[in-house]
């Protein structure tokens, strides 16, 4: 499967004209008034730090990343006051200021590093919207490394500083990962969710987030299978299993002989096949 990379941001400028008229003899001149909105009370939480994202392109996943950069995800909860616009947020890192990434070629499927939600899940966590839906994530695309001692997220009524562990990850190179093992079932059934096993090693000197997705080809409907994500300590290997989705693989009268599964991740993709079993 081709891997597509994307990075796009766009802006929109709006201009307006205003006019005024002189008050008539019977009218009193207007009184100047000032309206203030209550300050926003926000709760900010670290959600993830990784080299890219899994995007959703119609009926398939795609991996999107840009060399020498990484994505910082934060969760924003508005407890009270005015809902800030997403453009009000700025992340200050390594002497530069970064605005949230708001335009994506395809919807990203982000899952927080501490998420307990089970797979599969094609929607991920909700993005932050400033139209009344107050909870969600915001992503900043920042350099791969930099001085993070003064890293801070700011908005008009406050600021938030990442924990020391997050600042350490921001300041150090993104660790490289090795997929030591990827196990695909020998046979799959239209009525049973397939289970995949992975063993991945973090080759770096700092913890990092391994992320990717599994696609299926050879089914008669959508090809989405599941997302994969695991935080791995430095110099260690982690083994875990993920369960995929059941598909309409056709009836015994019109069978699909096999499904080709592909593990998509920022390294080298891995593909294996499983025979379809009809019972």
More confident residue, 228 or 29: 228
- Residue 129: per-residue pLDDT: 82
Dihedral (CA of 210, 167, 133, 97) sign: negative
77 touches 42 (CB < 8 A): yes
Q: Copy the structure tokens of residue 68.
A: 């020498």
Q: In what order do the strands lie in the sheet with 195-202?
A: 177-183, 195-202, 237-243
Higher pLDDT, residue 96 or 6 = 96
C-alpha distances out from residue 132 to 39, 83, 128, 216, 238, Å: 16, 7, 10, 37, 40
Give the β-pairing of 69-80 and 136-143: antiparallel
Question: Rounded mean pLDDT of 229-247?
Answer: 88
Which residue would you say has higher pLDDT here, 228 or 30? 228
User: What's the predicted TM-score (pTM) here?
Assistant: 0.78
Residues 112-170 pLDDT 10s: 887 755 555 555 678 888 777 778 999 999 999 999 999 999 999 999 999 999 999 99
Instruction: Taking residues 95-115, report their average pLDDT.
Output: 86
Specify which residues 75 forms β-bridges with: 45, 137
DSSP 100-120: PP---SS-B----TT--PPSP
Tokens matching residue 210: 């391994």
For 247-265, what is the mean pLDDT?
Answer: 80
Cβ neighbours of residue 13 closer than 8 Å, sequence gap 6 or more: none
Cβ pair 211, 205 in contact under 8 A: no
User: Which of 216, 212, 245 is CA-nearest to residue 228?
Assistant: 212
């Amino acid at each position: 499967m081709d891997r597509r990379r994307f990075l796009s941001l766009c802006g929109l400028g709006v201009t307006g004209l205003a006019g005024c008229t002189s008050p008539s003899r019977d009218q009193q001149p207007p009184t100047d008034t000032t309206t203030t909105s209550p300050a926003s009370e926000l709760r900010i939480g670290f959600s993830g730090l990784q080299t890219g994202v899994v995007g959703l392109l119609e009926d398939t996943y795609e991996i999107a990343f840009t060399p020498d950069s990484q994505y910082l995800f934060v969760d924003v909860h508005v407890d009270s006051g005015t809902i800030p616009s997403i453009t009000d947020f700025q992340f200050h890192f390594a002497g530069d200021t970064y605005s949230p990434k708001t335009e994506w070629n395809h919807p990203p499927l982000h899952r927080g590093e501490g998420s307990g939600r089970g797979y599969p899940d094609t929607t991920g966590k909700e993005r932050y919207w400033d139209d009344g839906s107050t909870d969600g994530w915001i992503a900043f695309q920042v350099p791969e490394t930099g001085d993070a001692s003064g890293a801070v997220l700011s908005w008009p009524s406050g600021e938030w500083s990442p924990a020391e562990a997050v600042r350490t990850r921001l300041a150090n190179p993104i660790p490289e990962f090795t997929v030591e093992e990827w196990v695909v079932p020998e046979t799959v059934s239209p009525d049973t969710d397939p289970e995949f096993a992975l063993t991945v090693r973090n080759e770096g000197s700092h913890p990092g987030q391994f992320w990717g997705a599994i696609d299926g080809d050879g089914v008669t409907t959508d090809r989405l299978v599941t997302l994969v994500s695991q935080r791995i300590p430095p110099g260690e290997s982690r083994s875990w299993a993920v369960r995929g989705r059941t598909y309409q693989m056709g009836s015994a009268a019109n069978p699909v002989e096999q499904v080709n599964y592909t593990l998509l991740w920022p390294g080298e993709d891995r593909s294996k096949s499983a025979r379809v079993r009809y019972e």
